[in-house]
Amino acid sequence: MIVLGIETSCDETAAAISRDGNISSSQISTQTIHRRYGGVVPEIASREHEKLLNGMVIDTLIDAGIVKEDIDGIAVTQGPGLVGTLITGVCFAKGLAQGLNCKIIGVNHLEAHIFANFLADPALAFPFICLLVSGGHTQIWFVEGLGHYTLMGESRDDAAGEAFDKGARILGLGYPGGPEIEKLAKNGDKNSIKFPRPLMLNQNLEFSFSGLKTSLLYTMDKHSKRNKEDVAASYQFAIIDVLITKLKWAMDKTNCNTCVIAGGVAANQSLRECVSNIMLDKKVIFPELSLCTDNAAMIAFLGELYLTNGQSSPIDFPVLPNMKLV
């Protein structure tokens, strides 16, 4: 089966081809225009998707060595995401599906992030624990099969990726904040400042990062001349320490020996190193860096799984900006 995947949930315009479980082509364009604003402007993002999407799909088909008539189905991000950007991608996908008279399926963006790990390791087997960390979500999932997920814990306020972005703004760094803080933290002392780590009692698997962000703001207000490398390293370590501790608790509670890391924050090298060093007796899987951020390869791959199982969406399915996994 040949499936075209389309991803427009935020500020990455992406298209990919999944053919019999393998990615034949994957194209991504990150909208750098948002850097001047310090964050994503939804209306601008929607317009950029509209400008880029048609050409990107054509390039993806050429790169995969196929023509549009070869497509058996189309998978497109249905949610969660920005409503305007989702509409742009879904409307494009629906029009193309009708023109080609092929099946279409709306894909949950979070679920696709989880299944991106099967592209990293095709031998990955159920069950496993997934730490899903991005700009909009911080969650721990117990994954027992396709469509069978148990939410073990999530953030009560800011997501980890959001904490990185807002922390970078407090430190006067660029956007996106995660890579900027990681870069600055490389030469800093992660133990120089003891930032708070909320909800760390009784193996609580819920997260909270808003207090950490506030603590950083107070630190910079009171000690504006403090070494920013030390501040960045300590701030990053506080986030990572919470993520890893709760991931380990989830592994212990389920007696699970395999964990996967998904979402944009999974690209953080310090997180990767810390997880690998602590989970020495566990199987730990990270997707390659291109599969951590928003991409269409994971959308096409998951869409093919569902379409192969005979599942598809009606042509009038809605976009769901606040779409839940369960």
CA–CA distance, 214 with 279 (Å, rounded to integer): 30
Please write the tens of the pLDDT for every residue from 3-23.
Answer: 999 999 999 999 999 999 999
pLDDT value for 37: 82
Please write the tens of the pLDDT for every residue from 33-82.
Answer: 888 888 888 899 999 999 999 999 999 999 999 999 999 999 999 999 99
pLDDT value for 42: 87
CATH number of 124-288: 3.30.420.40
Q: State pTM to two decimals.
A: 0.95
Extents of the domains making up the chain = 2-113+292-308, 124-288
What does the pLDDT average to over 157-180? 93
pLDDT value for 34: 86
> Among 33-42, 158-167, 183-192, where is mean pLDDT lowest?
33-42
What does the pLDDT average to over 85-96? 98
- Which residue type does 191 have? N
**In which band, very low, low, confident or very high, does the pLDDT at 154 lie, cut at 50, 70 and 90?**
very high
Please write the tens of the pLDDT for every residue from 269-301.
Answer: 999 999 999 999 999 999 999 999 999 999 999
Mean confidence (pLDDT) of the chain: 95
pLDDT value for 4: 98
The residue among 142 and 42 whose pLDDT is bigger is: 142
What does the pLDDT average to over 153-166? 95
Please write the tens of the pLDDT for every residue from 189-248.
Answer: 999 999 999 999 889 999 999 999 999 999 998 877 789 999 999 999 999 999 999 999
pLDDT value for 31: 84
Overall CATH class of domain 2-113+292-308: alpha beta
pLDDT value for 33: 85
What does the pLDDT average to over 144-168? 96
pLDDT value for 291: 95
